[in-house]
Amino acid sequence: MRKQAEVLDTIWEVDDDLWMIIEPILLAFYPPKETGRPRVDFRQVFNAIIYRLRTGCQWNHMPRELGSDSSNHRWFQQWRADGVLERIWATIIEECDEMGGVQWDWQAADAMLGKARFGGPTSAPTRRIGRKTARRRACSSTGEAVRCPR
Protein backbone atom coordinates (compact mmCIF):
# COMPACT_ATOMS: atom_id res chain seq x y z
CA MET A 1 0.00 0.00 0.00
CA ARG A 2 1.42 3.34 -1.06
CA LYS A 3 1.50 6.17 1.44
CA GLN A 4 -0.25 9.29 0.15
CA ALA A 5 1.81 12.47 0.47
CA GLU A 6 0.30 15.26 2.51
CA VAL A 7 -0.21 18.44 0.52
CA LEU A 8 1.39 21.39 2.27
CA ASP A 9 0.33 25.00 1.92
CA THR A 10 2.58 27.12 -0.24
CA ILE A 11 5.09 29.41 1.39
CA TRP A 12 4.31 32.32 -0.90
CA GLU A 13 0.54 32.63 -0.80
CA VAL A 14 -0.84 35.09 1.74
CA ASP A 15 -3.69 33.64 3.79
CA ASP A 16 -6.89 35.59 4.46
CA ASP A 17 -5.96 36.64 8.00
CA LEU A 18 -2.66 38.14 6.89
CA TRP A 19 -4.25 39.77 3.87
CA MET A 20 -6.73 41.55 6.17
CA ILE A 21 -3.69 43.27 7.71
CA ILE A 22 -1.86 44.04 4.44
CA GLU A 23 -4.72 45.20 2.21
CA PRO A 24 -5.60 48.40 4.17
CA ILE A 25 -1.96 49.52 3.96
CA LEU A 26 -1.93 49.10 0.18
CA LEU A 27 -5.29 50.84 -0.22
CA ALA A 28 -4.10 53.75 1.95
CA PHE A 29 -1.15 54.31 -0.37
CA TYR A 30 -2.99 53.53 -3.61
CA PRO A 31 -6.75 54.17 -3.33
CA PRO A 32 -8.85 52.74 -6.18
CA LYS A 33 -9.58 55.13 -9.04
CA GLU A 34 -13.02 55.49 -10.55
CA THR A 35 -11.80 55.87 -14.12
CA GLY A 36 -9.06 54.42 -16.23
CA ARG A 37 -7.68 50.99 -16.75
CA PRO A 38 -8.38 48.45 -14.01
CA ARG A 39 -5.46 47.81 -11.70
CA VAL A 40 -3.81 44.45 -11.19
CA ASP A 41 -4.85 42.33 -8.22
CA PHE A 42 -2.63 43.49 -5.34
CA ARG A 43 -2.92 40.15 -3.58
CA GLN A 44 -1.59 38.33 -6.63
CA VAL A 45 1.25 40.86 -6.94
CA PHE A 46 2.11 40.43 -3.26
CA ASN A 47 2.12 36.64 -3.67
CA ALA A 48 4.42 37.01 -6.69
CA ILE A 49 6.82 39.22 -4.71
CA ILE A 50 6.94 36.71 -1.87
CA TYR A 51 7.55 33.91 -4.40
CA ARG A 52 10.37 35.89 -6.01
CA LEU A 53 12.01 36.68 -2.67
CA ARG A 54 11.65 33.13 -1.32
CA THR A 55 12.90 31.30 -4.43
CA GLY A 56 15.39 33.81 -5.83
CA CYS A 57 14.25 33.16 -9.40
CA GLN A 58 14.23 35.82 -12.07
CA TRP A 59 11.07 37.84 -12.59
CA ASN A 60 10.51 36.38 -16.05
CA HIS A 61 10.82 32.79 -14.78
CA MET A 62 7.96 32.92 -12.30
CA PRO A 63 4.91 30.69 -12.82
CA ARG A 64 2.21 32.13 -15.07
CA GLU A 65 -0.46 31.84 -12.36
CA LEU A 66 1.35 34.62 -10.46
CA GLY A 67 0.55 37.14 -13.19
CA SER A 68 2.58 39.31 -15.50
CA ASP A 69 6.25 39.46 -14.61
CA SER A 70 6.59 43.06 -15.78
CA SER A 71 3.58 44.22 -13.74
CA ASN A 72 4.81 42.38 -10.65
CA HIS A 73 8.28 43.86 -11.01
CA ARG A 74 6.91 47.36 -11.61
CA TRP A 75 4.69 47.22 -8.50
CA PHE A 76 7.56 45.79 -6.45
CA GLN A 77 9.77 48.73 -7.45
CA GLN A 78 6.94 51.19 -6.76
CA TRP A 79 6.19 49.73 -3.33
CA ARG A 80 9.88 49.70 -2.45
CA ALA A 81 10.37 53.32 -3.51
CA ASP A 82 7.25 54.51 -1.66
CA GLY A 83 8.12 52.67 1.56
CA VAL A 84 5.07 50.41 1.37
CA LEU A 85 7.04 47.21 1.93
CA GLU A 86 8.71 48.71 5.01
CA ARG A 87 5.30 49.74 6.35
CA ILE A 88 3.88 46.24 5.75
CA TRP A 89 6.91 44.67 7.44
CA ALA A 90 6.61 46.97 10.46
CA THR A 91 2.90 46.25 10.80
CA ILE A 92 3.45 42.48 10.62
CA ILE A 93 6.23 42.68 13.22
CA GLU A 94 3.97 44.74 15.47
CA GLU A 95 1.16 42.17 15.13
CA CYS A 96 3.54 39.30 15.86
CA ASP A 97 4.99 41.14 18.86
CA GLU A 98 1.52 41.59 20.35
CA MET A 99 0.99 37.81 20.07
CA GLY A 100 4.40 37.17 21.64
CA GLY A 101 5.86 35.79 18.42
CA VAL A 102 8.94 38.02 18.24
CA GLN A 103 12.05 37.25 20.26
CA TRP A 104 13.81 40.59 20.49
CA ASP A 105 16.89 39.14 22.20
CA TRP A 106 17.76 37.12 19.08
CA GLN A 107 17.57 38.49 15.54
CA ALA A 108 19.24 37.43 12.31
CA ALA A 109 19.66 39.00 8.91
CA ASP A 110 19.46 36.88 5.80
CA ALA A 111 21.49 37.54 2.68
CA MET A 112 21.67 36.26 -0.87
CA LEU A 113 24.95 36.07 -2.74
CA GLY A 114 25.07 36.40 -6.49
CA LYS A 115 27.64 36.64 -9.22
CA ALA A 116 29.45 39.93 -9.73
CA ARG A 117 27.92 41.85 -12.59
CA PHE A 118 30.18 43.44 -15.19
CA GLY A 119 33.22 41.42 -14.10
CA GLY A 120 33.44 42.56 -10.48
CA PRO A 121 36.64 44.10 -9.13
CA THR A 122 39.77 43.79 -11.23
CA SER A 123 42.38 41.36 -10.03
CA ALA A 124 46.11 41.00 -10.64
CA PRO A 125 47.19 39.38 -13.90
CA THR A 126 47.80 35.63 -13.82
CA ARG A 127 51.49 34.75 -13.65
CA ARG A 128 52.92 32.39 -16.27
CA ILE A 129 53.81 28.97 -14.87
CA GLY A 130 56.42 27.83 -17.36
CA ARG A 131 57.86 28.35 -20.81
CA LYS A 132 56.31 26.60 -23.79
CA THR A 133 58.78 24.11 -25.25
CA ALA A 134 56.68 22.21 -27.78
CA ARG A 135 57.85 22.22 -31.38
CA ARG A 136 55.58 23.48 -34.08
CA ARG A 137 55.53 21.68 -37.43
CA ALA A 138 54.28 24.55 -39.60
CA CYS A 139 56.99 27.07 -38.79
CA SER A 140 58.93 27.02 -42.02
CA SER A 141 57.69 27.29 -45.55
CA THR A 142 59.12 23.81 -46.31
CA GLY A 143 57.07 22.18 -43.59
CA GLU A 144 60.12 20.85 -41.73
CA ALA A 145 59.80 20.08 -38.04
CA VAL A 146 62.02 22.82 -36.68
CA ARG A 147 61.87 24.93 -33.57
CA CYS A 148 60.18 28.24 -34.28
CA PRO A 149 62.07 31.39 -33.33
CA ARG A 150 60.35 33.68 -30.92
Residue of 85, 53, 52 whose CA lies nearest to 66: 52
pLDDT digits (tens, 9 = 90+) for 9-53: 667 788 898 899 999 999 999 999 889 888 999 999 999 999 998
pLDDT at 129 (0 to 100):
74
Backbone Cα Rg of the chain: 29
- pLDDT grade for 128, boundaries at 50, 70 and 90: confident
* Cα–Cα dist 94/11, whole Å: 21
Strand partners, 146: 136
pLDDT in tens, 103-122: 767 666 666 666 666 665 66
pLDDT band at 123; cut points 50, 70, 90:
low
- Asked if pLDDT for residue 91 goes beyond 70, the answer is yes
